[in-house]
Amino acid sequence: MTVRVTRSVAAREAALLAAKTQDVKPQLADTNGPVIIQKTRKSTADRKRKLPAEQPENLSKAPKKRKTNGTLPSLNVNDDLPHNLGSVVQTLESINADLKLNKQDPGIKEEADLDKLATDLQKTVDKTTEGLPQQIKTSKKKNPYGLTPGATPFPEWARPTPEECEEVNRLLSSVHGEVTPPTKIPEPSLTVTGCGEVPSVLDALIRTLLSGATTGRNSALAFGGLVQRFGILEEGIGKGSVNWDAVRQAPLKDVFEAIKRGGLADVKSKKIKAILDMVYQENQARKNILVKEESNGPSDLTAKTEGEKQYEIACADQNFLSLNHLHTLSTEDAMTELVKYPGIGPKTAACVILFCLQRPCFAVDTHVFRICKWLGWVPPGKATEVTAFSHLEVRVPDHLKYSLHQLLIRHGKTCPRCRAITGQASAGWEEGCVIDHLVARTGKRKEGNAKIPVVSKRGTGRKMRTDTDESDE
């Protein structure tokens, strides 16, 4: 005859076995009260007692949960919970009390009430998350540059003086020709990227981004790739401009393929897509403010004429991405707006302000920074390109910012003594330098006619590079 092992018998056997294993003595309470388990001292006999060799077959499986009277077992343990949460007993007693209270409230158990509760919760979630994807897309990076318009990070460094700036501008002009800012921005080229010398602010921003950390030839190839793949707007408000909305909607791999000949395509394609997404969201938000005639929008919107308002609304309606409203902002506000976009630092923003917005702004690139260090215009060993920009923006007179920026770049690219990679053995070194008496060159200076072996990226072969090779950045 087979003995039937019920769940109650199995549970009792499991409790006895657990008590023997954990050296505790079970005390069974009545069916209506909590189960209390107290620790007992282990006797010598208990220590010598062996566990049963076999266990009931049913005990190998966890018993199914049984309905209780709504209370949790209390443990007669005096240990406290971590983080000052109280004792185990107090916590379990509090839970038991809450369970009893909920059990006494039959209303929440009704199916209709449960459905209503679920509906209300879903409405709350929907209301909270409404518009969340748009908020994520338009999130703005914090300004990490610490720019302080009108203040220099090196107030104790009194150079350059206006006289020094005039002298360097005069000397460099004698070699490279006089440089004057154009009275009118030229029409954009579809083959040359440039550094923002175009009427469209967004066009200028993307062009300048593409020209960063590469040669002029490579940046032109990258921009030409965008034109060939995504085309030019043939009609409408943005006629003649790159179809930036097509670039925005295109897969990332298509943008990468379009600009890959210009170098750094992996990084730049992601930044271009992120910038265009932000511009689109901002254009739509500005249009909604204008259409609803809200008075709490940006100050530049409220100051617009009726014609300017209709133009901006039409741009957004036709998905013509535009940053042309930056033309109406102050130089400081325009800088703040530009550096919020991914991949746009003070140098790129300053170029857009200088060449596109046609404001005095002393953009500092690698050539400008190098020569300004040699001239002693920034503190040696302290300045970076960003802090040098903040310092020189204050120290260089406004009427010289355009010409000095251009002249220092030309000189840094062509002077045999002021190029980035040069030395006394470089071709043309003996010709001298027009500002030789003003500079104290630092950095790695090469001696002799030795050539530098360079490992080719396309294979294991080696080629020889002279010490005059450099980037046309």
pLDDT of residue 22: 53
Distance from C-alpha of 389 to C-alpha of 348, rounded to nearest angstrom: 11
**Predicted confidence band of residue 462 (pLDDT cuts 50, 70, 90):** very low
Position 259 scores a pLDDT of 96
Instruction: Round to whole Å and give the CA distance between 210 and 219.
Output: 5
Q: Within a 10 A sphere around the Cβ of 222, how many other Cβ atoms?
A: 26
CATH architecture of 143-181+360-444: Orthogonal Bundle (1.10)
> Nearest Cα to 263, choosing from 419, 464, 468, 472?
472
The domain limits of the chain are 143-181+360-444, 188-357
Dihedral class, residue 181 (left if φ above 0, else alpha if ψ from -120 to 50, else beta): beta
Check for a shared fold between 143-181+360-444 and 188-357. no
- Higher pLDDT: 50 or 409? It is 409
Q: Which residues pair with 131 in a beta bridge?
A: none
Distance between CA atoms of 339 and 345, rounded to whole angstroms?
5
Tokens of 71: 């209370």
Separation of alpha carbons 391 and 152, rounded Å: 4
Query: Considering only CA atoms, which of 358, 370, 361 is closest in space to residue 393?
Result: 361
More confident residue, 101 or 135: 101
φ, ψ dihedrals at 26, nearest 5°? -75, 145
Q: Is the pLDDT of residue 456 over 80?
A: no
pLDDT in tens, 343-376: 999 999 999 999 999 999 999 999 999 999 999 9
What's the confidence (pLDDT) of residue 126?
55
SS3 category, 115: helix
Q: 353: Cβ–Cβ under 8 A, 6 or more apart, which residues?
A: 331, 334, 335, 338, 359, 361, 363
Q: Are 363 and 351 in contact (CB under 8 A)?
A: yes
Task: Count Cβ atoms below 10 Å from residue 176 Cβ, excluding itself.
Answer: 18
- Contact of 227 with 259, CB cutoff 8 Å: no
DSSP secondary structure of 257-287: HHHGGGS-HHHHHHHHHHHHHHHHHHHHHHH
- Measured distance CA(372)–CA(421) in Å, rounded: 16
- The per-residue pLDDT for 198 is 80
Beta partners for 38?
A: 25
The region that residue 210 occupies, defined by phi over 0 for left and psi between -120 and 50 for alpha, beta otherwise, is: alpha
The more confident residue out of 80 and 170 is 170
| Residue 188: burial class (beta carbons within 10 Å; 0-12, 13-18, 19+) | buried
For residue 25, report the phi and psi dihedrals to the nearest 5 degrees: -105, 115
CB 146 within 8 A of CB 346: no
Closest CA to 96 of 84, 106, 108, 104: 104
- 63 touches 14 (CB < 8 A): yes
The whole-angstrom separation of Cα 437 and Cα 171 is: 11
pLDDT digits (tens, 9 = 90+) for 35-63: 444 444 554 444 445 444 444 444 444 44
Place of tokens 């593409």: 210
pLDDT of residue 127: 53
Q: Write the pLDDT tens digit of every residue in 217-271.
A: 899 999 999 999 999 888 777 777 889 999 999 999 999 999 999 989 999 999 9
**473/374 Cα distance (integer angstroms):** 19
- Rounded distance, CA 230 to CA 255, Å? 9
Segment 289-309 mean pLDDT: 85
pLDDT value at residue 128: 45
Provide the CATH number for the domain formed by 188-357 in this structure.
1.10.340.30
Asked if 242 and 203 count as a contact pair (C-beta separation under 8 A), the reply is: yes
The whole-number pLDDT of residue 202 equals: 93
Least confident piece of the model among 86-95, 131-140, 178-187, 340-349: 131-140
Residue 405 CB coordination number (10 Å):
26
Task: Tell me what the mean pLDDT of segment 200-225 comes to.
Answer: 90
The stretches of 396-456 forming alpha helices (DSSP H) are 398-414
Distance (Å, whole) CA 442 – CA 434: 17
- Give 413-446 pLDDT, tens digit per residue: 999 999 988 888 888 899 899 999 999 988 765 3
User: What pLDDT shows up at residue 139?
Assistant: 45
Structure tokens at 269: 């394609």
Q: How far apart are CA 471 and CA 473, in angstroms?
A: 5
For all residues of the chain together, what is the average pLDDT? 75
